[in-house]
Amino acid sequence: MCCGGAESADDDVRFVGLVFFLGALYAVTKLFFADDLWVIALLAACSLATVFTHQVSTAVVLVLLGVASGSVLFSYALDGQRGIHSVRSVAAIVGTFLFTFVVTIASWSVTPWYGDLPFLWQILETFTTTVSTDAGFLNLAGGGTGGAGTGSAGLMGEIIPFVQWFGFAVLLLAVVVGGLAMLRMENPTGATLTFLVAGAAMFVIVFGFSLFGVRTIMPGRWIAFMYALFAIVGATGLYYLSQHASRRVLIVVLLLVTVGYPSSMVVAEKATLDSPAFEDEYARFSYTESELAALETIGEIYPPRDERPIASDHPYKTIYGRAGGYFGQVAEFEDGRLASSSPIVARTYQGEGPAIFEEAGAEEQPIASQSLSAAQVCPSERNRVYVNDNVKLCTVPTGGSE
């Protein structure tokens, strides 16, 4: 049974995938200016290492390599900058993309996942089902259980979204300026196209797919990679302004970059998942020792197998789904009473923080966990089969759904 380390382990693997992505990005950029063998080896090593490290990172690297291949072929076909692209550079970028793509397909075709199908076929089936049945404009998937506590009241609840978006707006403005500056500079056409098209593609995946409720490819996991590209293009924009803008404009830009942007990022929800700056507004996605210990012990009392149902609040229910063998679900309530007989994991945080339950019905509505008492979450007629300082596992006497 996987213990609570599953959450942090996934973050560690994602970080390693980001490192490999940055290595591939550096190698691709370098190949637009040189065709050294060590750069080609670095690109191949980072690309292939990503395939065997993290699946989301692999998809991101494939997007980067695909865009780079199209860009280098397009610019080389134009032949307007003879001598900047060598045949070796073109072959290295395109060849690495094709080889990485083939290795990815082969790897994903034999990678086990939930259900009977391998990862590749399962994810394609899920994606097809989502697009054909669930996708729709402004169908914001997961909107009710995403982050902020329901019913944020008062001035702070009104201001927080604008504080968060201010920082991203500053970055996006720098990216727009940087993109226009790159188009004016004497850079290889392929390098400019790679950064701009890859950044635009990731922007569409992160925000466009979410806008239509398509979250099968986990667009939230692409944000760090998108920010890496945005940071480079944005830095180019700042450099351009430093060379061409007036002193007044430079002072305003300096204040925004050194004060406004960092301040907004410090309080942003996505940047502080483990320790939210606004604890009353956003749920904590890290877990205490008691909550992690409960996962391990509950795995012995109520062993995981074949998507076994277990309910709790969001986000705590996610740790059981990621451990494997459980179908972690948000506990549903009807008129203040549990609507399901599935075992439920209650924790102290449900009465202290902005965790989420759901109202049972055709269209589940989020319920702030603080609005329910501990007796409602774990009623007296249920058995307490596990209890520690902060967590309880409560089951119906007949075994519930078992």
Find the range with the poorest average confidence among 11-15, 21-25, 174-178, 286-290: 11-15
- Give 372 or 131, the one with higher predicted confidence: 372
CB atoms within 10 A of CB 362: 4
- Give 210 or 399, the one with higher predicted confidence: 210
Three-state secondary structure string covering 299-326: HHHCCCCCCEEEEECECHHHHHHHHCCE
Average pLDDT over residues 41-68: 92
Q: Alpha helix locations (H) across 32-86? A: 37-51, 55-78
Question: Exposure string (b/e) for 271-308, b if CB count within 10 Å is 16 or more?
Answer: ebbeebebebbbbbbebbeebbbbbeebbeebebeeeb
- pLDDT tens column, 67-95: 999 988 888 777 655 545 678 888 999 99
244's tokens: 């061409």
- The pLDDT value recorded for residue 308 is 82
- Give 167 or 217, the one with higher predicted confidence: 167
- The pLDDT value recorded for residue 212 is 72
Average pLDDT over residues 332-360: 90
Query: Which of 236, 142, 112 is CA-nearest to residue 183?
Result: 236
**Cα distance between residue 141 and residue 215, in whole Å:** 7
- Give 304 or 133, the one with higher predicted confidence: 304
Find the range with the poorest average confidence among 46-50, 64-68, 167-171, 238-242: 167-171
CB atoms within 10 A of CB 234: 24
- Asked if residues 283 and 276 have their Cβ atoms less than 8 Å apart, the reply is yes
Question: Exposure string (b/e) for 190-201, b if CB count within 10 Å is 16 or more?
Answer: bbbbbbbbbbeb
**Cα distance between residue 202 and residue 223, in whole Å:** 8
Model confidence at 64, pLDDT cuts 50, 70, 90, reads very high
Q: Please report, rounded to a whole number, the percentage of residues in the chain having pLDDT higher than 70.
A: 80
Average pLDDT over residues 89-106: 94
Average pLDDT over residues 251-265: 80
Q: Is the pLDDT of residue 3 over 70?
A: no
Which residues on adjacent β-strands are paired with residue 327?
A: 309
What does DSSP say about strands 332-334 and 356-359: parallel, antiparallel, or unpaired? parallel
- pLDDT tens column, 137-190: 555 444 444 444 444 445 665 676 777 778 888 889 999 999 999 988 876 688
Tokens 């506990």, residue located: 331
Residues 6+ positions from 372 with CB-CB distance below 8 Å: 333, 336, 350, 357
Q: What is the pTM of this model?
A: 0.69
What does DSSP say about strands 332-334 and 337-338: parallel, antiparallel, or unpaired? antiparallel
Average predicted confidence (pLDDT) for the chain: 81
Q: Is the pLDDT of residue 105 over 70?
A: yes
Residue 18: alpha-carbon gap to chain centroid: 12
Average pLDDT over residues 264-292: 75
Q: Is the pLDDT of residue 230 over 90?
A: yes
